[in-house]
Every structure is written in C-alpha cells, then in structure tokens.
Amino acid sequence: MSRVYEKIAFVASQSPEAAEAQARLVERYGNVDPATADVVVALGGDGLMLHTLRTLMRAGKPVYGMHRGTVGFLMNEFNEEGLLERLAAAEPTVIHPLVMRAKDRDGQEHEHYAMNEVSVFRQTYQAARLRILIDDKERLPELMADGVMVATPAGSTAYNLSVQGPIIPIKAPLLALTPISPFRPRRWHGALLPDSAKVTVEILDPDKRPVAAVADHSEVRDVARVEIGMDHSISMQLLFDPGHSLDERILREQFGY
C-alpha cells in the first residue's frame, strides 16, 4: 500500500557530490527539519546511512537513501526525477539496533548503539584472550584471536561477511557471532544465535593484551567486559524501491552477485 510523504527532510554526507545533489533536490522538493518530516532522504553512502539511523533511531521516521557515496548497499539508486512517486511506492524494511554496554579497565560504563555490528578486537600486536558467555552461561572459556563480533542481519553482509561470517536473511530472528582471525580454537567458525540472546565478552588479560570495543563507528578502548544484545524496543524503517529491497540484496549476496 502506497503512502504519500509530503514533508521531506534531506540530509547529506560531506562529499561535494552529495552536497550538490542535496541542493538540487531541496530546490525542487523543498526541505523541512527531520523532527517535523514525514520521511528523511539520506544522500551519500552506507556511512551516512548508518549515521542517519543512529541519529534518528528513536524518532520513528522512515529513511530512504540515495547513493551519492562510496559503498551503497543500504541505498537506492540516485535519480532526481519522480522522487515523490518513488517514495510512495517504496517498500519498508524494519531493523533493530544492537546495544553495546562496555566496561573499561577503570570501571567506567559506556553505552553505544550499532546498526551493523559490534566488534571486540585487539589493540596491539598480541592476540586477544576472550571468554564468551551467552545469556550468562559460559560457551567458550578462551578464544585467542584478533577479536570477535556480533552482527545483525542488516550487517551480516558487511564486516561480518569479510571475515567469513554467515549471511543472514533480513527477516530471520538471528545474530551472527563470528571470530576475527581465530588462533585457538582453530576450528571454531562462530555461531548463529537467537536475536534475543545476550552475548558477553570478558577480556582475560586486559593489561597485557588490551582490547577495544566498537559499535559501528563508536569506539571504547581498554575494555574489560562487553555486553551485546539487540534492542527490540527500537524499530527503524528503511525504504527501498520495489525489487531492490534489503532482503532481496542479501539473498543475492548468498549467490555471489
């Protein structure tokens, strides 16, 4: 069912290409503050889209991306023509973010949200020594690796895929727990978890082998313990042109095109 979006807020990355596109679109379609908009149109690449989603994740605004950046997996093709019609016909995909709660070696708590993944990895040349618990039950007493990550279905084709993690269909209620260059146990390739799971990563030797935790682009260094889970209380709508939805793109990735 199509919906009419009358008030559009345009946001853009800092690239000249995105800024020029924003200026032309604002002149043609008008522009309002995101707080009063019916829909937000993001112009840039996936970095800009992730930033927009984090900024607006509690606002309940649908976001429609158009590619004016480097990587555009989360974006639609750019075209100045027929934007109102494209928005009306766009299909929504609902995603939920991960919440990362990290405690550093000084005992300070840090909380950050991620749309794609939370990564825990070594800060120095030495491999990290990590203990992994799922819902407070120990599942891996020691992982020696560059690190480990938890990825959402939306993020499963990003960093997770580059370290040989599984691709997850966008509507599957799953999280990917994926090691990053594991040394021991060598044959552990990760796990698929229900998206209700709480993953806890404890750093076993934080003084000798310091570790950082990163939620998308928000980094906490010298962590001692990291808790990761999906926050189902926050729902965000991404809009995609018919036939180019996020679930269709993720399905294509599984067949290598």
Same domain for 72 and 147?
Answer: no
Residue 203 lies in a domain: yes
Q: What's residue 242's pLDDT?
A: 92
Domain that holds residue 180: 98-230
Residue 160 lies in a domain: yes
Same domain for 35 and 129?
Answer: no
- Helix (H/G/I), strand (E/B), else coil: 255: coil
pTM: 0.90
Residue 44 lies in a domain: yes
Residue 1 lies in a domain: no
Per the structure, the count of domains in the chain is 2
Instruction: Tell me the sheet residues that pair with 22.
Output: none
Segments in the chain below pLDDT 70: 1-2, 256-257
Same domain for 103 and 72?
Answer: no
Same domain for 130 and 210?
Answer: yes
pLDDT tens across 71-92, in order? 788 999 999 999 999 999 999 9
Instruction: Give yes or no: 46 in active site.
Output: yes
Same domain for 108 and 174?
Answer: yes
- Helix (H/G/I), strand (E/B), else coil: 252: helix
What is the CATH number for 127?
2.60.200.30
Same domain for 150 and 226?
Answer: yes
Q: What's residue 243's pLDDT?
A: 85
Tokens 């749309």 locate to 115
Q: What's residue 257's pLDDT?
A: 59
Residue 238 lies in a domain: yes
Residue 2 lies in a domain: no
Residue 3 lies in a domain: no
CA distance 220 to 47: 19
Q: What's residue 1's pLDDT?
A: 54
Catalytic residue among 33, 46, 106, 222: 46
**Quick check: 211 and 66 in contact, CB under 8 A?**
no
Same domain for 88 and 32?
Answer: yes
